[in-house]
Amino acid sequence: MGTKFVDLKTVTLMQLSNALGTSLFPVKNNHYLVAEEDAANFSLYLDFYYRSEYYALILIKRGTVEFSVGARKFVASAGDVLFCGPMEAFVIHTISPDMQMKSIYFTQKLIEEAGFNYKTNDILKSFSSTPFYILSKQEKIFFRIDYHITQLGFLNVSRDRIDYSNDMIWHHFSLLMYEVQNFNRYLEQQSHISPRLEAITADFFNLVNEHYVNNHDVQFYADKLAISRKYLTKVLNTTLTKSPKEIINNVLLIEAKVLLKNNKFSVKDVAVKLSFADQATFSKFFKKLTGKNPSCYKVSAEF
């Protein structure tokens, strides 16, 4: 099932390129890559946690993929478009034998070089507010995204001389970004939750991703958001049907599982890295959420 990445914490674009075999071919722009995969040459291990440092747009052409992002489990099927932002922890559970997909993976630098400024452009803001989603059975958008990804793949092959290829890359990538914005607008139209609550939820997730290692307490995040702990709990129960503590604990648990499966770290090391008071406190936390001691989990085959 491909080459197992040594660094369990993040997968870089270069590591992904090596796993896909695309690094064998010189490219004009190394801030993105386009890949087509099927069940026979799928590059990632199943039931194995990964975290990417790049953005991804994935088209499911045939079959199904079952996967989790954080605590959320999904099944994507033919005709679905998946979008995932950087630093999202994910695991692929199953792929059907007939699965085929086309993907583009790209860095923050490519977005910035294309002229999209975070402070003034809703496209980048949508990346932060909705770090993962699926657009299902939107045939016209699927077709347009497929077309732009295909063109970006052709244009990035350095052995092919194409006049104005760099300009054409920026053209197709910009149009692709606007399609992503259409994703976000579509989701907003489907949502009955107020923009204010969605903004608080997005800001909370951003803060947790930034501070969870050193700050496990809900009050810290409520203070950062300048709202009461009670109101934060009410908002997240409305938008996600989960409490703030559940979300913080889940992010910590995923990171703990990733670190425990790394032979470089002992249980004590993981406790220290995740800012638990001591190993006993970490072990109690881990067992409460999983039913297993971290030392037993570390030597098991389970992910």
pLDDT band at residue 280, thresholds of 50, 70 and 90?
A: very high
Same domain, 212 and 117: no
**Summary mean pLDDT of the chain:** 80
Evaluate whether residue 135 is within a structural domain: yes
For residue 50 the two structure tokens come to 């990964």
Q: Contact 111/85 with Cβ under 8 angstroms?
A: no
Tens digits of per-residue pLDDT, 168-203? Answer: 888 888 888 878 776 666 666 666 778 788 889 888
Q: Which residues contact 98 (CB under 8 A, 6 or more apart)?
A: 39, 62, 63
Same domain, 155 and 56: yes
Domain closes at, from 142, 161, 188: 188
Evaluate whether residue 2 is within a structural domain: no
Q: Give the CATH number for residue 86.
A: 2.60.120.280
Evaluate whether residue 32 is within a structural domain: yes
Same domain, 23 and 168: yes
Same domain, 40 and 119: yes
Same domain, 15 and 149: yes
Dist CA 182 CA 92 (whole Å): 26
Q: Contact 201/232 with Cβ under 8 angstroms?
A: no
pLDDT at 288: 92
Counting the structural domains of the chain, the total is 2
Q: Give the CATH number for residue 260.
A: 1.10.10.60
Whether residue 164 has pLDDT greater than 70: no
Residue by residue, DSSP assigns 35-102 as EEEEGGG--S-TT--EEBSSEEEEEEEESEEEEEETTEEEEEETT-EEEE-TT-EEEEEEE-TT-EEE
Domain closes at, from 172, 188, 204: 188
List the domain range (segments joined by +) for residue 11: 7-188
Same domain, 40 and 139: yes
pTM of the predicted protein model: 0.63
Domain closes at, from 130, 155, 188: 188
Q: Positive or negative CA dihedral for 19, 21, 27, 32?
A: negative
**Residue 265 DSSP one-character state:** -
